[in-house]
Amino acid sequence: MRLKRASVIVALAGFASGCHGPIELASDRPIAAVAPDKAAGQPVRPPSTVTTTLPASYRGAAATPTGVVVPVIGTSADGWLVGTPCAQTATVRNLRALSGTVVLDAGHGGKETGAIGPLGDRESDLNSAVVGFARTALEAAGLPVVLTRTADYRIGIVPRAAIVDAVRPKAFVSIHHNASYSDLRKQPGTELFHQAVGESAAESRRLAGLLYEEVTATLARYDVAAWAATPRAGVKPRRNAAGDDFYGVLRRTHGTPAALVEVGFIDHDAEERLFAQPAVQQAVGEAVARGVVRFLTTRDPGRGFISPPHLADDNRPGGGTENCADPPLG
C-alpha cells in the first residue's frame, strides 16, 4: 500500500544519564532500523540493561539463560526461586538482573495466538513485531526496556503483572491487534484502554491518549480506503461487573500508568495485509515509542477520549494458565 507524505516532527528526549536536549526526528523517518529477532519459539536477545551478579537479597525482574523474563521471589539451596510464565515457581541457578523505565507487553503467545486474520497472520506474532520495534526505538532514546514476553510462548496475565510489579517502571504498554469489527470508516479504528480506578488512573489515561494520538497519526499516512472499527473506537476505560478494570493487565498493575493498545483489526483484509508488513510494524512500534517518550517528558494530555462503553463482561476467555507449558528457563 502506498504511503502518504508526512512531515511531522517529533521531539524525543534522552534519558541515559540525566536530562538531555530534545532529539528531533521526523515521524516518517525510522528512529532505528534494527528489526526484532524473529526465530520462532526462541527468546529474543536478553534486554541490554542487565547485570551479571545478583545480591542474595535481590527481589526484582531477571533474565534466565534462555532469555525468559521472570520475577525473582526468593532463593533456595539450588539457586534462585522465580515465578514462571505459567504462574508456577521454578529454581534457576543463573540469572541476570533487569531494570527498566518502560515495560512492554506483547499480547498472547504460544498456543494462545489471539486473533487470526483471513490470510493466516497471528495476532501474537504481530504484537511481538511491534513490541520489538518499539523497544529498539525507546532504547535508542535512552530508555531501558523490559519485555514481559521474549519469544512465542504462553504467559498468563498474573505472570505478566508480576513482571511489572518486579520492575516498577514509569510506564507499561500492552500491544494487541483487534478483531470483530462492525463498522467501516475513513479514520483508523484504533482502540486504547486505560486504568479506570486506582492511584495511577489519571496518568494511565494521559498515556493512553498520547499513544492513541501517535498511533492513529501514523496509520493515517497509509492509503486504506476504509478502516475497520467499532462504535467504541478511541480512548476509554473498561470496567468489570465489580467496577474494577476489566482487563487483567490493567487491573493487576495499579500504581503503574498502564495502557492497552488495540492497533487495528487483523480480520479486515486490507488491514491484515498492512499490519503484516515489517515497515508498517516498525512505523507503529516507533509511534508507540514516541507516545511513551512524550508521556515521560511532557504534560501533553493526548486525545481521542470517548465516553466509556457500558460493558461488564466477566467471562472473556484468555490470559489464564490452564494446560500451560513453561518454556525452557535454563
How confident is the model over 77-112, as pLDDT tens digits?
Answer: 889 999 999 999 999 999 999 999 999 999 999 999
Collapsed DSSP state (helix, strand, coil) of residue 64:
coil
In a domain, 140, yes or no: yes
3-state helix, strand, coil in the chain (%, to 5): 25, 25, 50
The identity of residue 138, as a single letter, is L
First-to-last alpha carbon distance for the chain, in angstroms, is: 43
Cα(72)–Cα(209) distance, integer angstroms: 33
Are 259 and 193 in contact, with CB atoms under 8 Å apart? yes
In a domain, 304, yes or no: no
In a domain, 54, yes or no: no
Residue 148 has which C-alpha cell?
514481559
Cα(274)–Cα(281) distance, integer angstroms: 9
- pLDDT for position 16: 33
Residue 114 has which C-alpha cell?
489471539
Q: What is the mean pLDDT of residues 47-64?
A: 74
In a domain, 32, yes or no: yes
Query: Quick one: what percent of the chain has pLDDT higher than 70?
Result: 81
Considering only CA atoms, which of 176, 195, 175 is closest in space to residue 237?
Answer: 195
Q: Any idea what the CATH number is for the domain that residue 178 is in? A: 3.40.630.40
Are 100 and 145 in contact, with CB atoms under 8 Å apart? yes
In a domain, 213, yes or no: yes
Flag the least confident range among 32-46, 86-100, 254-268.
32-46
In a domain, 238, yes or no: yes
- pLDDT for position 2: 39
Express each pLDDT in 173-225 by its tens digit. 999 999 999 999 999 999 999 999 999 999 999 999 999 999 999 999 999 99
| Beta carbons within 10 angstroms of residue 152's beta carbon | 22
Cα(68)–Cα(155) distance, integer angstroms: 10
Q: Which residues are 129's β-sheet partners?
A: none
Q: Provide the domain count of the chain.
A: 1
In a domain, 91, yes or no: no
Are 271 and 223 in contact, with CB atoms under 8 Å apart? no
Q: What is the mean pLDDT of residues 2-19?
A: 36
pLDDT confidence of 318, banded at 50, 70, 90? low
Query: What DSSP state is assigned to residue 256?
Result: S
Residue 155 has which C-alpha cell?
504467559
Cα(304)–Cα(105) distance, integer angstroms: 22
Flag the least confident range among 23-32, 40-49, 221-230.
23-32
In a domain, 328, yes or no: no
Residue 161 has pLDDT above 70, yes or no: yes
Residue 24 has pLDDT above 60, yes or no: no
Task: Quote the Cα angle for 54-154-195, to 5°.
Answer: 80
- Distances from the Cα of 112 to the Cαs of 70, 137, 216, in angstroms? 19, 27, 27
Strands 69-76 and 79-83: antiparallel
Residue 296 has which C-alpha cell?
515521560
Where in the sequence is the domain holding 16, given as residue range(s)? 9-43+99-297
